[in-house]
Structure 1
Amino acid sequence: MARESLPQSDGPFLLAYEPVWAIGSGRAASVGEISAMHDALRNLAGPQTPLLYGGSVKPENAGALAEIRNVDGFLVGGASLDPETFIKIAAQLNEAERNCERASV
């Protein structure tokens, strides 16, 4: 991927990544795969660009995925169609944020 593929405007944007093989598969990439890709995206897009991960985010993995360096948020697909599931994902993210705040004190 080249810098030329990113927006050329001065306005803010965010960048979402999902492995092609994860689309509709129900499988998330490994922590190592996500970390490597998001590190590369960070180098490409810069420190101010929010980077979202979008591959099969579920309540069972949202907390762990949120702890990966350079993952700033999620692009939730199918799980967003069920309000209860989506709320569980949000709860996992809130818990991960609280854990991060406790660790930095």
Structure 2
Amino acid sequence: MAQFPVRPILITGENGEGLMKFNLPSYRDILYKTFFQLRHYGKEDVSVLTAMLEAIAFAGEGAPQQHLDSLKETARYVIEKAELDQMPAMDREWINQKLQAVEKVTGR
């Protein structure tokens, strides 16, 4: 999805005539709709949290510069309500490794 154009898409016929035009949601909206329920129901599950962070880091590897801020914002959103201080040290360490991977691909 990061590779899709941010402008309206026009599908044309063989002669160049416009057949269909449609707008995609913003990349930020796509990320939000992808992660908001996962975040809500997985905020206490280290495997869900780290899987979301891994997905965000993976998306960042191929994303154009214009989407990196949305990915960083989404990673912060994913862990915002997680009670990290209540988790065992190894879980916190694992989550921090995944956050560092996001920071690496998004340029912090």
TM-score > 0.5 by shorter chain: no
Structure having the higher Rg: 2
TM-score range, shorter chain: 0.3 to 0.5
Q: What is the TM-score normalised by the length of structure 2?
A: 0.36
